[in-house]
Amino acid sequence: MSTYAHQSSRIPPRPRVVFVMGAGRSGSTVLDLFLGQHPLVQSVGELCNFVHDGWIERRLCSCGQRVPECELWSRVTEVWKKRSQVDLETYEQLRSRVEGRRNILWQMFSRPSPEQVQLGKDVRGNFLTYAQWTAGLYQAIGEVTEKSVVVDSSKNSARGLALVLMAERLDLIDLHLVHLVRDVRGFAWSVKKSFRSDEQAGVARDIRGLPVWRSALAWTFVNSMADLVRRRHETSRSLLVRYEDFASTPIPVVLQLAGFIAIPPGPWIELLNSEKPLQPGHIVAGNRLRMQRHIRLRPDVEWQSKLSFAEKMVIWILAGWKAWSYGYRYRSEVSRADRSAPGTSPPAGHPLAGPHFLTSRDRQSTGSSSVSESAHP
């Protein structure tokens, strides 16, 4: 499958998993896609939705095929079923219980042993079954793609915590947690916009925009949860990445990520220097960007002009304390503007930077109107 099979034909016993955690609309699909351009890395999108979206709802993979018809995913599932004796329906029931119920999240935080996590009498299997099957899926992906690292951008903190238990208590995976944050105002602007469902464009259902106060609270909650999960994990193996840093100065961030994941950074640096667009590969679920043929990135500045003064104030009153802890400042957009000379256009950023994208269609038309980010719910 991989042209680089010779470099990574020995699959390690514990799959190396990079889990991207944090709020939606934070650029996780872009980061996931970017990381997946490395010959040792397979990016898979929101793997938590793989069985539901891919096999139950038969949605599209980013390669354009329905998941059951996609060559990669049908082989992965075949290997997964054979090795782990997994039953997809039972797995999906277990997974949604572990990753979706608050009481189970509480148990995972408070109880010392994964064996004691109670999922309820109405499900077949227990946390250990979930853990072994989930590890088996990562293993199958590594085996079929012949890549040594799997990037899962499911983002959900409950899944993050389950993976921490799998890594630290059960020794089933080699976990590297990446907590991705985006400026809460950029997030709120992205969430304020509505989208009509369009499967070919990667939007599975209609998405209604949210008022900024709600998105500010949601952002604070989700990132606080991610902080807690990160603290639960060994600090040496979790990393906080601010999307804006990746967007404006990608090379230091990429070097840091490469050191963190322990793979050579060369292919990523080459890509950043080449201005080649990202190739979507086989992303099973995630935001609509995964359905674009070629993806180029540009800086995330739209919120600065689109949000009103009142909206910015409301967001900052509710979420500013949390944003501050990540190094964001209320007047950060002003200081950035100060750096460019008056009368000149704003800095274009790196061609692979920023969560706003120019698709080939946009380049043909205006080349300036933004393709807004992230449309998954």
| Phi and psi at residue 154, to the nearest 5° | -65, -30
Taking the least distance from each CB to Zn ion, the nearer of 47 and 61 is: 61
Q: Does 229 bind Zn ion (CB under 5 A)?
A: no
Binding window for Zn ion (CB under 5 A); candidates: 58-66, 211-219, 240-248, 361-369: 58-66
Taking the least distance from each CB to Zn ion, the nearer of 263 and 278 is: 278
CB of 63 to Zn ion, least distance (A): 3
Taking the least distance from each CB to Zn ion, the nearer of 242 and 282 is: 282
**How far apart are alpha carbons 137 and 69 in whole angstroms?**
18
| Phi and psi at residue 366, to the nearest 5° | -85, -35
Taking the least distance from each CB to Zn ion, the nearer of 80 and 303 is: 80
Taking the least distance from each CB to Zn ion, the nearer of 63 and 167 is: 63
Q: Does 59 bind Zn ion (CB under 5 A)?
A: no
CB of 261 to Zn ion, least distance (A): 23
Radius of gyration of the chain (CA): 20
**How far apart are alpha carbons 163 and 51 in whole angstroms?**
18
**How far apart are alpha carbons 132 and 362 in whole angstroms?**
44
Is residue 339 classed exposed, middle or buried when 0-12, 13-18 and 19+ CB atoms within 10 A define those classes? exposed
Q: Does 117 bind Zn ion (CB under 5 A)?
A: no
Taking the least distance from each CB to Zn ion, the nearer of 70 and 257 is: 70
Of the candidate residues 18, 23, 60, 70, the single one contacting Zn ion (CB under 5 A): 70
**How far apart are alpha carbons 298 and 250 in whole angstroms?**
12
Taking the least distance from each CB to Zn ion, the nearer of 61 and 173 is: 61
CB of 53 to Zn ion, least distance (A): 12
Taking the least distance from each CB to Zn ion, the nearer of 54 and 186 is: 54
* 263-289 residues labelled b (16+ CB within 10 A) or e (exposed): bebebbeebbeeeebbebbbbbbbbbb
Beta bridge partners of 150: 17, 42
Q: Does 61 bind Zn ion (CB under 5 A)?
A: yes
CB 234 within 8 A of CB 175: no
Binding window for Zn ion (CB under 5 A); candidates: 141-149, 153-161, 280-288, 316-324: 280-288
Q: Does 285 bind Zn ion (CB under 5 A)?
A: no
Binding window for Zn ion (CB under 5 A); candidates: 55-63, 145-153, 240-248, 300-308: 55-63
Residue 261: name the closest of 45, 34, 61 by CA. 34
Of the candidate residues 38, 182, 233, 282, the single one contacting Zn ion (CB under 5 A): 282
Binding window for Zn ion (CB under 5 A); candidates: 39-47, 50-58, 185-193, 276-284: 276-284
CA distances from 375 to 60, 158, 203, 304, 355 (A): 15, 22, 6, 20, 12
Q: Does 33 bind Zn ion (CB under 5 A)?
A: no
Q: Does 60 bind Zn ion (CB under 5 A)?
A: no
CB of 278 to Zn ion, least distance (A): 16
CA distances from 195 to 186, 201, 304, 319, 376 (A): 17, 11, 21, 25, 9
Q: Does 63 bind Zn ion (CB under 5 A)?
A: yes
Taking the least distance from each CB to Zn ion, the nearer of 150 and 358 is: 150
Residue 18: name the closest of 33, 1, 2 by CA. 33
CB 32 within 8 A of CB 153: yes
Binding window for Zn ion (CB under 5 A); candidates: 111-119, 145-153, 263-271, 282-290: 282-290
CB of 153 to Zn ion, least distance (A): 16
Q: Does 141 bind Zn ion (CB under 5 A)?
A: no
Footprint on this chain of Zn ion (rule: CB under 5 A):
61, 63, 70, 282
